Amino acid sequence: MLDVYAAADAAVRAAGPRCDASGRCCRFTEYGHTLFLSHFEAELLLEGAPPYDTPVTRDGCPFQVNNLCTARDARPIGCRVYFCDPGYQEEGNRITEEAVAALKALSDTHGTGWNYAPLHVFLNQAERPAGPRRALPLL
């Protein structure tokens, strides 16, 4: 899983998209997009992300604070690859498709089934016990 993230990060660096640090990428409804992620990504995000309030809506990311990501190290592929730079869109789509295919292959290898849903679905279904690890049920 971390290898998939590393490959996507390297491909994004090579493409060199512009980031204006506007936070638009995390305000989903306002900018007309939805962040989808796999159950693998959701597990990793929930393990490394700060606490958040529920219910989470589809409007935006609860980890965005002052236009910055508070879950940056654990962020999913969609966050790693999405940039507002219009000259990067085609390359971003290619990188995303490769990463999602690699995640699907992991799912097949581990026999977990494929679960791909919007961020708010995973965050609202997560069990959040008192310990540092959160268990996420498969949908």
Per residue in 63-90, pLDDT tens? Answer: 999 888 999 999 999 999 998 888 999 9
CA distances 69 to 21, 48, 120, 138, Å, are 10, 12, 16, 25
pTM: 0.84
C-alpha 9: how far from its chain's center? 13
How many domains does the chain fold into? 1
Other C-beta atoms lying within 10 Å of the C-beta of residue 135: 12
State the residue for tokens 């959160």. 134
Residue 137 placed within a domain: no
45 exposed, middle or buried (CB, 10 Å; 0-12, 13-18, 19+)?
Answer: buried
User: Residue 35 belongs to what domain range?
Assistant: 2-125
- Classify residue 45: in a domain, yes or no: yes
In a domain, 130, yes or no: no
* Residue 88 included in any domain: yes
Q: Does residue 21 lie in a domain region?
A: yes
The answer to whether residue 138 is domain-embedded is no
